[in-house]
Structure 1
Amino acid sequence: MSERQVVTRIAPSPTGSMHIGTARTALFNWLYARRTGGKYLLRIEDTDRERSTEGAVKVILDGLSWLGLEPDEAPVFQFTRADRHREVALDLLARGRAYRDFMTPDELTEERERARAEGRVVRSPWRDPEGPVDASRPHVIRLRAPQEGATRIDDQVKGEVVFQNVDLDDLILLRTDGTPTYNLAVVVDDHDMGVTHVIRGDDHLNNAARQTHIYQAMGWETPVWAHLPMIHGPDGKKLSKRHGAQAVGEFDDMGYLPEALRNYLAKLGWGHGDDEIFSDAEAAAWFDIRDVVGAPARLDWDKLNHLNNHYLRKAEPERLAGLVKTVLQSRDWPVHEGDTETLLRTLPLVREGVPTVLDLADAVIFALRRRPLDLPEKARALLTDETQARLGRLSISLEGSEWTVPALEATIRGFAETEGVGIGKFGPALRAVLSGGSPAPDLAGTLISIGKAESLARIQDALPN
């Protein structure tokens, strides 16, 4: 590779959801571009017009935006470049590096059967025709690929991969209707976009040899190849619906933060020593495509949850409050004026060990309930006459307390000593009347979350009139 600026690209097809494997490929392209001071581009391979809808394109753009992996330039749409693809095919034809193949569908079927029986690839009799040809007849245009020797791919992940040219057929460049094929379009687009490093899934490894032939036929510089292994499920099998989320949007819906997913995806097949948690800047400074492991990576939900909790604990409460409110609204939970302040008090007290934003939304419900609380039977059973009387006296002590965690903890301990009982004699009942039976933090944290006026009112509601 000459001393050109590094240019990487991600080239998804808008034919469905954005798979987590595509997201990791985008991340590795983004990291390598950042590491080398290069550019990271996006091409939408939308040549399948029936499946390439505006909605599917939006899924890709939204997924990359959510992940924080937006391209450095406006996306290129492959379909709009069909004339350029045809131009290159005709150029190859004019220079004798491609030829017209007039085999009919029936003749092609027969040749395929013969080739299969003889253990070889399809060979067209029109590669070297005798005499002139009638270009007005229906035909495809095929690349005149080398048939002797070998094509070597110096892959940054897989190492050297050798393809015997005799095992590679003359790939079709233009179909009978004049539409370009995938391999031609990819090569032309990558060349015209200035792509220097093709970092993609290893399901494209075989295409690398075929595409190399096109580069060589055009006299273009071949990019650096790097083919990434697949992501498997925890059981080591190909990732599928039975393993849970597969699409980027599903991880968002499940309450994962984009920075956590970036950190986790970077660890799937690549790493920096024993570092488990690192920033985007650190990953970009350390990343080298040659350090990617060639074996498939396995999705590990426990590790992802651990990372997500780390980033939940680092996130600004204002951001988390917005995310939690969105979750609650999606559940038709009424969000009232003043709930934001309640969330800002509560979130720092409940996010320890919570894996996702969905779990965080569950953890704040106790603080957002509206009086009077409908206590479950188990909570009502705790409110004996003795306990209610004790809560009434505790309420007086709390009213005179400073409303901070240390002060409230001291007040509760002091009250227990005065009463001559352990906190266990009234703590469960206090928690129940404060939370309505929902999960809640320790007593002092629960009181802080709910606020002084609301806490005292909830206790009063549980006392006899």
Structure 2
Amino acid sequence: MKTPRVRVAPSPTGDPHVGTAYMSLFNLGFARRHGGQFVLRIEDTDRARFRADSEQQIFDMLRWLDLQWDEGPEVGGPYAPYRQSERLDTYRPFVDQLLADGHAYHCWCSSERLAEMREKQRAEKLPTGYDRLCVGKTAEERQALGGATDTPVVRMLIPDDPPLTFTDVIRGEVSAPRPDDQVILKADGFPTYHLAVVVDDHLMGITHVVRGEEWISSTPKHVLLYRWLGLDEPAFAHMPLLRNTDKSKISKRKNPAARLTWFREQGYLPEALLNFLALLGYGQPGESEIFPFAEFSASFEWSRVNTVGPVFDLKKLDWLNGHYIRALSVDEFADRVVEFVAREREIAADAVALLRAGAPLVQERTDTLAQGAAMLSFLVAGDDEFAVDEAAAAKQLAPDQQPTVTTALAALEALPAWSAAAIEQALRDSLVEGLGLKPKFAFGPVRVAITGSTVSPPLFESMEILGRERSLARLRAAITAG
């Protein structure tokens, strides 16, 4: 086998799809297994949907996942440039060759004429596809028929017996439907995906094209282009699609988890997400469910890829993420929490210290950084930001609970030293022994007054970290509000 050169080629047309990470993971795992190269190419020929910020998000998210590319934008390489919009002069000679050899033709049909054609085909229950009105005609001959534009596109001329089967590295012999006369050069001079991907994969020496199974139907078009242009064909490997729990294809319109940025926003660790994506389409030797990327790539085999569309089970991801969180050292977890909060808001040095002090209290209790940050938010909320949950206040800070809060405040104001042990003893003496309350009812109102919620890190340690003055101020505020 040749030393593999593989690539991912996302389109910057919106928030990066989780499938970009999924494909990058398997491409990179295969490349690292055999000492090959992983290329990132930006396929930005769809100018109508292009978004400049989307390209930067692709770079940021792949780096967040530590899926580092060997060649591509911001890295360079021997086959630069790696943006298709910067390679337009590259494609024209290939188009001219296809036209000269009779494998392609100009098409002047307007979008309105094409829409009418498809509507008629559907009404007559015929397969939709171009009807070849423009084949063999000059521009003048075509204009005379009406429904034409001045600037033509270029279409492939599919033969009567196109190659409809090919060998897939994962699936073996695969059959695909007959293609229609695909546009390969648009009126704006930009190539379509089908031409550009073939030309670029050839010129960049790509040995294995690893992509989602939705591209199986397009493979015959690509095989034709390789053969017509006299180019060596790469190996093809079509990965199973990620699916929702209802088995539908995961999409950004239906599922927020289809957005790659969503996982960082929710506080998932990149190493846990990579492990999860690997599990979706792969069976590790020994059926281990927890393995780092290095272990995944070291034993990578295409035969272990499961072709059945994996279901995107976020409960499994939560479990995996919780495992990775608890495997971090206390300092590492604190670093991750601080970094997570800092992405959402500016935090002062004293707030960073509070988060770091509170992080050990929640590490065993959280499955995501977002959960941990939410449980610690009471520590860094300023006086103007801190708010008590309305449902919690109605239950725990109602008028009949005011004696509990008032007694707790008096006991804590008298403390000579502010420590978790001293706080616990004072509250037990005053509320449990003094008022005869069970701990659940004694500490509940205090917890809500201090943290704003009925669910929080351990109360006494939380109050020690929050500090005497802020803790007492919140108890006074709860009494005033009540």
State whether TM-score is above 0.5.
yes
Aligned to 2:227: 216
Q: Which of these residues, 48, 71, 79, is aligned with residue 85 of structure 2?
A: 79
TM-score under structure 1 normalisation? 0.77
Aligned to 2:22: 24
1:171-190 deviations in Å (ceiling 9; x for gaps): 55556776544322111100
Number of paired residues? 444
Residue range with higher mean Cα deviation, 348-357 or 176-185: 176-185
Q: Which of these residues, 321, 340, 358, is aligned with residue 370 of structure 2?
A: 358
Deviation at 1:425, TM superposition (A): 6.8
User: Which aligned pairs between 1:374-393 and structure 2 lie closer than 5 A?
Assistant: 376=393, 378-379=396-397, 381=399, 392=410
Q: Which of these residues, 195, 201, 209, is aligned with residue 190 of structure 1?
A: 201
The one-letter code of the counterpart of 1:64 is: L
For 2:339 and 2:232, the matched residues in 1 are separated by 49
1:15-55 deviations in Å (ceiling 9; x for gaps): 22211223211222122222222111111111122222323
Cα 1:119–1:304 shift into 2, 3 Å: closer
User: Which aligned pairs between 1:92-107 and structure 2 lie closer than 5 A?
Assistant: 92=98, 96=101, 98-99=102-103, 101=105, 105=109
Residue range with higher mean Cα deviation, 348-357 or 219-228: 348-357
1:57-115 deviations in Å (ceiling 9; x for gaps): 22322332333224212231112222222212334556x4x446467649x9899989x
Aligned to 2:358: 346
Q: Is the 8 A contact 2:336 2:369 kept in 1?
A: no
For 1:144 and 1:462, the matched residues in 2 are separated by 77
Residue range with higher mean Cα deviation, 372-381 or 66-75: 372-381
For 1:141 and 1:257, the matched residues in 2 are separated by 46
Aligned to 2:269: 257
Q: Which of these residues, 415, 438, 457, is aligned with residue 441 of structure 1?
A: 457
2:205 match: secondary structure: coil
Q: Is the 8 A contact 1:382 1:428 kept in 2?
A: no
Aligned to 1:42: 40
Give identity over the alignment, percent. Answer: 32
For 1:47 and 1:338, the matched residues in 2 are separated by 48
The one-letter code of the counterpart of 2:397 is: A
Cα 1:140–1:286 shift into 2, 3 Å: same
Deviation at 1:242, TM superposition (A): 3.8
Q: Which runs of 5+ in 2 are unaligned?
A: 74-81, 143-151
2:167 match: secondary structure: strand
For 2:375 and 2:66, the matched residues in 1 are separated by 27
For 1:168 and 1:389, the matched residues in 2 are separated by 80
TM-score under structure 2 normalisation? 0.75
Aligned to 2:3: 5
Deviation at 1:321, TM superposition (A): 1.5
Q: Which of these residues, 244, 249, 256, is aligned with residue 244 of structure 1?
A: 256
Q: Is the 8 A contact 1:394 1:415 kept in 2?
A: no
Q: Is the 8 A contact 1:327 1:358 kept in 2?
A: no
For 1:427 and 1:170, the matched residues in 2 are separated by 73
1:351 match: secondary structure: helix
Q: Which runs of 5+ in 1 are unaligned?
A: 330-334
2:257 match: secondary structure: coil
